[in-house]
Chains A and B, each alone.
Chain A
């Protein structure tokens, strides 16, 4: 297929995934911010939202120091502002532009989801939203990504186009999960006094919520929320669709499918397999021993490297 088409598909799904992730971050931040400080709420939830979204520099340039980030500014910046290249609105804009450029590579159902969301987006006012409006908006964003994934899964031919689309989504998803962990890793570390205190519980639960995994946690571990189990679920547990291991499971398979149809393996396949092996052979204890933070940072940089390799190998 045309390299440009593959590139558009790959970025289209990345942007839809990113929008979904931003919606979750906002959702969780809102919840934590309304939780009394004694129960784990804190005054700087909104600054971690900006950090997790990976757009701290842009935010600071516009609104000043991160520590003083205000709810309305963060919501507006992450959700709506065109000055933020990764705002939800921009994600949808870019996704639709990409979709228009590759309409022939999309099924009409996939196009319909993207186009309808883009039309719907204009119905949300261009001002600070009320709490109600914001929840409706976030629900709409999550709904859109669900519908898009569903349309993709149900209607798209299983060929290179599908695999590029899925690879984009998985790569982005892995990046998002890793960044949530990166910003919050400190609350998962075994630290002195308040282990097991109420404060930490709410922080841990919020991490799980931001990847929609609180219920899943209980099913998988049949235990109360413990930080090392949270880390295990999000990093190594393949049952959990947003875990790094599950993302790489799927990524390595998609890339292998491409390689087998094209009859040629390349750097991206090797890189994906190496990363999958790392996620398979390690236990969560190993990771905590060598440093959770180091592990996550290295993962984020390797994940970016894989993205660059896919681009180099296929998309240009």
Chain B
């Protein structure tokens, strides 16, 4: 694997300009002070209860995501390039989903193969011909970005269903402000705290009807969901009710919530619940988390669901490989942010190449997430590779493969001191009827283990505060 680009140190051994101040500061601060602040941060996180659950782990019901106190820094220029690319990408995603559920021009033009839509488990026939307010489907997107050198940023993954992690972006900043005020006095860091306002403005702009002030709620599966902290955090920041399925009911195709003063109409639901569980009458009948009749209210246009139903048709890893073509098709523009080159194992010649080069590739399941069920070729032994080869051959359409990218590294506090660790970035893109909003930065995830490329929190990844320098 090629040597990774480090975002602080330039290749000639110097320091990249954005990191100069931070580097000097890190060199001066004694290690035990850093250790102490890290412990303090952990104490605060536990105390506020910023925890997540890992499914299938006993006794780990509430775990902390490791927080790294060394910030990750982007320049204003880097960020403006990124944000233009993100806006373009989300625009194309929205147009694609609209097309898929209406005229299907992109399928007719042969740009995207039909079976990618019709055989996609996330495709929702219920959405055919369904109009959604302002033709927007993906109101809250999380686009995962990786970097390989000073100039190259790639999109690694689109998350168009219910992307999570934004609470960490916000809390990380709060903690940093509390622990390192001196660092902020030395840098001009663009604020992120307006995210909650932006989100509320976005949600309100999506109300199915004008007139009265829309009643916006956040729908959570409940306290046992791994992201419950985030749901309650957002409800609190937005000042909206955090509801569970049992708090809502549908009467005459209108959604109401049960309040101490009787039923109250609901206009916009920011749901953190997968399509499958939304409505036992329309989807999974065994779902006790959803609201019977919700789809009928949605189809009648009486309530907005964010994100819309059926957006999963645009964010699996097979569709991903067509994103550059999708952008060109709808916008007539070249993608501002490139994809990572991707082999679709569903295609015979791609599969042949992948099977021949397994030790150097990363192979992922099309519908996988959370870093599960994937093969990182260079980090695997022969036996693991052969085992995976069988899995791949048995169901090629279920996999895609990518070159093992040398993800950039950032200085990170580990046991031995400051050391480079691989990172990615998840910015959050809000699409309202009035405009697109992106707060500068996003969530930086970091693989805490030396050499590891897997940043997912379910696999021991941590997070960092992400700074976009304003000057």
Binding site for B on A (CB under 8 A): 1-6, 97, 100-101, 103-104, 108, 111-112, 115-116, 119, 160, 164, 258, 262, 314-316
**Most A Cβ at <10 Å: residue of B223, B241, B246, B260:** B260
Give the nearest-CB partner of B46 in chain A.
Answer: A119
> A1: which B residues are within 8 A, CB to CB?
241, 259-260
**Distance, CA A104 to CA B258, complexed state (A):** 17
Shortest Cβ distance from B222 into A: residue:
A101
Give the chain A neighbours of B242 by CB distance below 8 A: 103-104
> Quick check: B259 and A2 within 8 Å, CB to CB?
yes
Smallest Cβ-Cβ distance to A258: which chain B residue: B260
B47 touches A2 (CB 8 A): no
Complexed CA–CA distance, A170 and B455 (Å): 49
Q: How far is the CA of A107 from the CA of B243 in the complex (A)?
A: 18
Closest to B261 in A: A262
Q: In the complex, A1 Cα to B242 Cα: how many Å?
A: 11
B47 touches A103 (CB 8 A): no
Q: Are A3 and B259 in contact (CB under 8 A)?
A: yes
Smallest Cβ-Cβ distance to B257: which chain A residue:
A2
Q: Is the CB of A2 within 8 A of B223?
A: no
Kindly state the separation between the CA atoms of A97 and B49 in the bound complex, as whole angstroms.
12
Contact string against A for B residues 219-257, beta-carbon threshold 8 Å, 1 for contact and 0 otherwise:
000110000100011011000011110110000000001
**Binding site secondary structure of chain A:** helix
Q: Which chain B residues lie closer than 8 Å to A111 at the CB level?
A: 48-49
Residues of B within 8 Å of A2, CB to CB, are 241, 243, 247, 257-260
Q: Of B49, B223, B247, B260, which is within 8 A of A315 by CB?
A: B260
Q: Do the beta carbons of A160 and B223 come within 8 Å of each other?
A: no
A104 touches B236 (CB 8 A): yes
Report Cα–Cα, A116/B243, bound state, in Å: 25
Smallest CB gap from A98: residue in B: B223
Q: Is the CB of B235 within 8 A of A104?
A: yes
Tell me, rounded to whole Å, the shortest Cβ–Cβ distance linking B152 to chain A.
Answer: 41
* A263: nearest chain-B partner, CB-CB: B261
Are A115 and B235 touching (Cβ within 8 A)?
A: no
For the complex, what is the distance from the CA of A116 to the CA of B232, rounded to whole Å? Answer: 18
**B223 and A97: CB pair below 8 A?**
yes
Q: Are A103 and B261 in touch, CB under 8 angstroms?
A: no
A3 in complex: contacting residue of B47, B232, B258, CB < 8 Å: B258
Least CB distance, B409 to chain A, in whole angstroms? 35
**Residues of chain B contacted by A5 (CB below 8 angstroms):** 241
Determine how close the nearest CB of chain A comes to the CB of B175; give it in whole angstroms.
14
Contact B223 A101 (CB under 8 A): yes
How many Å from the CB of B233 to the closest CB on chain A? 8
Measured between C-beta atoms, what is the minimum distance from A100 to chain B in Å? Answer: 5
In whole angstroms, how far apart are the Cα atoms of A103 and B218 in the complex?
A: 13
Assess the B47–A314 pair: CB atoms within 8 A. no
Q: Is the CB of B48 within 8 A of A108?
A: yes
Tell me which residues across on chain A come within 8 A of B243, comparing CB atoms. 2
Chain A residues with Cβ under 8 A from B228's Cβ?
A: 100
B232 in contact with A104 (CB, 8 Å): yes
Q: CB-nearest residue of chain B relative to A108?
A: B48
- Report B-chain residues with C-beta under 8 Å of the C-beta of A315: 260
- B217 (CB) vs chain A CBs: closest residue: A2
On chain B, the residues within 8 Å of A262 by CB distance are 260-261
B388-406, CB < 8 A from A: none
Q: Are B232 and A103 in contact (CB under 8 A)?
A: yes
Say whether A160 contacts B260, CB under 8 Å: yes
Min Cβ gap A205→B in Å is: 40
Query: In the complex, which of the residues A2, A100, A262 has the most CB atoms of chain B within 10 Å of its own CB atom?
Result: A2
CB distance from B269 to the nearest CB of A (A): 14
Cβ contacts under 8 Å, B48 to chain A: 108, 111-112, 115
Centre residue among A101, A103, A164, A262 by max chain B CB count within 10 A? A103
The 7 lowest CB-CB distance pairs between A and B, nearest first, are: A103-B232, A314-B260, A104-B236, A104-B235, A3-B258, A6-B260, A100-B223
Find out whether the CB atom of A115 lies under 8 angstroms from the CB atom of B247.
no
* B39–chain A nearest beta-carbon distance, Å: 15
Extra A-B contacts (16), CB below 8 Å, given A119-B46, A314-B260: A2-B241, A2-B243, A2-B258, A3-B247, A4-B247, A103-B49, A104-B232, A104-B235, A108-B48, A111-B48, A111-B49, A115-B48, A115-B49, A116-B47, A160-B260, A316-B258
Shortest A304–chain B CB gap in Å is: 21
**Highest count of chain A CB atoms <10 Å: which of B222, B242, B243, B257:** B242
Name which residue of chain A comes closest to B235, CB basis. Answer: A104
**Given known A-B contacts A3-B247, A4-B244, A4-B247, A100 and B49 have beta carbons under 8 A apart:** yes
**Interchain nearest-CB distance for A251 vs B (Å):** 16
A101–B228 alpha-carbon span in the complex (Å): 9
Nearest to A106 among chain B residues (CB) is B236
Contacts of A160 in B (CB 8 A): 260
CA–CA, A160 and B233, complex, Å: 21
Which residues of A lie under 8 Å from residue B223 when comparing CB positions? 97, 100-101
26 A-B pairs with C-beta separation under 8 A: A1-B241, A2-B257, A2-B258, A2-B260, A3-B260, A4-B244, A4-B247, A4-B258, A6-B260, A100-B223, A100-B228, A103-B232, A103-B236, A104-B232, A104-B242, A111-B48, A112-B47, A112-B48, A115-B47, A115-B49, A116-B47, A119-B46, A160-B260, A262-B261, A314-B260, A315-B260
Q: Once the chains are docked, how many angstroms separate the CA of A103 from the CA of B257?
A: 18
> Which of B48, B49, B223, B232 has the most chain A CB within a 10 Å cutoff?
B49
B 249-301 contacts with A by CB, 8 A: 257-261
CA distance A100 to B241 in the complex (A): 14
Q: A243 → chain B, closest Cβ, in Å? A: 28
A119 contacts which chain B residues (CB < 8 A)?
46-47
C-alpha spacing A5/B235, complex, angstroms? 13
